[in-house]
Structures are given as structure tokens and as C-alpha cells.
Structure 1
Amino acid sequence: MEMLIWIGAVVSLAGLGGIIWCILAIAKAKRAGLDDAGLRARLQRVVAINLGALFVSVIGLMMVVVGVLLG
């Protein structure tokens, strides 16, 4: 079960990396000085990626918990 813990940690860190990327992408979009429609379109795309990254992070944390409980 130790392998499940390490794999879950890597998956969780990948999700965290995606969330950090989303934060940086939104900050860059705000600094770009886009009009309202352009900013809204970019934010909609980033929100979809953010939800996917959050899902990956949660799956990784669940793998770690299962590995700890079974180990």
C-alpha cells in the first residue's frame, strides 16, 4: 500500500500544479487589460481547467487516504 500513497501524492501534486497554473493564468489575463468580453471568455476557459485540476488533486488525496487506511 506504500506505492498507492506515493502515487496518490504525485497525482495530488499534479493537481496542485494545475491549480497554481490557473492562478497565474488569471493574474496574467487581468494584467493584459482585456475588455469585458475577452476577459470573460478567458476566465471561462481557465475555470474549466481549474475544476479539472481540483478533481485530480482530490483523487490523489483520496488515494493517499486509502493507502494509509489499508496499510
Structure 2
Amino acid sequence: MYLYLIEHNIKINEFYEGKIIGIVSTREKAEKIVKEYERKKGFKEHKNDFKIKKIELDKDYYGNGFKSWYKKGDE
């Protein structure tokens, strides 16, 4: 079974700020949610920064690496 992860990532200086918007069962539902968010403050200025990722349920993704986020100065 596949799900669709909706993310919004913007670059601020040299760092990225990422938000997980939601996880839905179909790509059509994901695209509908993105269209709604494209009109909202904080998102409408960055319409091209949405990503929809198809993910497989019950799959180990750690083997593919992982993402780390930290604030400048926390290195």
C-alpha cells in the first residue's frame, strides 16, 4: 500500500525550514490539499516549494539515510 506525504520546504539563508502538511491515501487528495495551502499566508509566497512524495507503508526507510535539522549555532 502506498501513501502520499505532503511537505513544504523553504530555504532561509543557508538552512531549510520544513513542514509536514499531511499524509493521504491518493495523489489526487494530496494535490487538492496543496491547492488549498497555496492560497494561505506563509505558503502563497512559496507555491513552488511543495513536494508530494509517494511512500510505501510498512517499509524501512532508514537504510536510505535520514534528514537532520538544526538551528544555526547548534552545530
Tell me if TM exceeds 0.5.
no
Question: Which entry has the higher C-alpha Rg, 1 or 2?
Answer: 1
Which of 1 and 2 has higher RCO (CA within 8 Å, sep 6+)? 1
TM-score norm. by structure 2 comes to 0.28
Specify which structure has the higher proportion of strand.
2
Specify which structure has the higher proportion of helix.
1
TM-score norm. by structure 1 comes to 0.29
